[in-house]
Structure 1
Amino acid sequence: MFLDFLGGTVLTAVAVVNLNAVLSALQVSRTARLALATAVGLWVGLQVSLATAGAFAAELALTVPILGLMVLAPVTVVGFAAWRSPAVRSALLDLPMPLLVGLNAGRLLGVFFLFLAAAGRLGGPFPQAAGWGDIAVGLLALPLAAALARGTASHAGVAAWNYLGAADLILAVTLGTISTNGFALQVISAGAGSAAIAQLPWSLIPTVLVPFYLILHGIVFAQLRRARTGEAAVRTA
């Protein structure tokens, strides 16, 4: 279908832009940058293989939230690495906040959730919440990133946007999970539910893009906390 072709093209483009932008901004060695790019490539390849094999729509997926685990895996790995390694933590905290916020403009692709709902391939509150939520976060990211670059953004404004962006992702994953037809913990029964998300190219959203954006939100939270700690230290001194 044309919608799948268009969605796959846009999703791939956004993923490539996101990866290149972060890799270019990371203050790490060339070897580390290459290793990270390889790890991300292997992860994306794994997700494509699993979706192609029908793993996300298999009988096991009706009792085990496989897509949900794929969302958590990269976030957990990056969080653990940042906790255990001062070098990793420093590299992540040194990423420019305007970049971290600005990359969320890619979430304007949430409009595809609305297209899929209109085509009858998604149903219930999931596509509406995920679609409009992503669009709102993506639109707000543009002026906020510009304000951060100018140095005029407020701490409270950035924190509010970051909470909104993280909550939108968590809500979307939750609604998608409990809207899966036949899932053991299904709560919402509405037409196709979240069926399209178990298939390519749309499965790349929860398995690749959602973890990426959750990681960005985590880094922004950490940077805001560091800024507050620094301000408190200055006031104390």
Structure 2
Amino acid sequence: MNFFEKISFLLTIVLCLSMCLVSLAETSVKDNKDDKIFIKKILEELDPSTIQKIYKVSENGLEEISIENAIEYYLEAEKDSIENYQPKRFLSTISYPRYDEQSSGTKFLSAERCSVPLYNDSETDTMANQSISCAHTQSHSINVSVNSSELLAVQVGVGYTWTGAVTVSSTNSVDIPPEHYGWFEFRPKVYYSKGYLLQGNGDDYTGRKWISVTYPKKLGGQCDGLFIARTSTTCPD
């Protein structure tokens, strides 16, 4: 290789490295932008102005966390869904109905009130520390109606271990300001799956329909998710 060929070769390597660095930088910027958009969405859903405490379900019971930790928890669920999906492989023998999963992961569902609201009727500046019992039961949900054999095919075909209805319950404390209501909500963290339910008669394929399903995620024997303590001058629905 002569001098000019060496220079050309080195310039080619430098150019390739530069292109790779630009690509990585663009990806990083995009990821940061996507994170910011997602965090804004989470904050809108959480409405931090009325949050007093957040408890995370863990293997050892409930663990109090900050709003910042809750946001990180949301981001972890979202990224895990995108990065760690592994399609399920089937045996060569096919029988119907059969569920052909296309994507799966974890997600948070909308919060639901899981306790009665308590009111602090004090007209002074006395904060009322109240213990509130809360409970939530989570079951599966499918976007279309299915019969028992089709449901069984979905249960067998999903990528995570299928769990039926799961309950989580606890008694937690909340500090209620004067002339405010205090209550708990629960945001379940569930598995989701999307794919095609293949239909047929025996071994004969006849059609398919799109399925979107969520089903409970267990952690420490209870339904995974977040207990959120809220206070407000307005009584919740």
* TM-score normalized by the length of structure 1: 0.26
Higher helix share: 1
Higher strand share: 2
Considering only CA atoms, is the larger Rg found in Structure 1 or Structure 2?
2
* TM-score normalized by the length of structure 2: 0.26
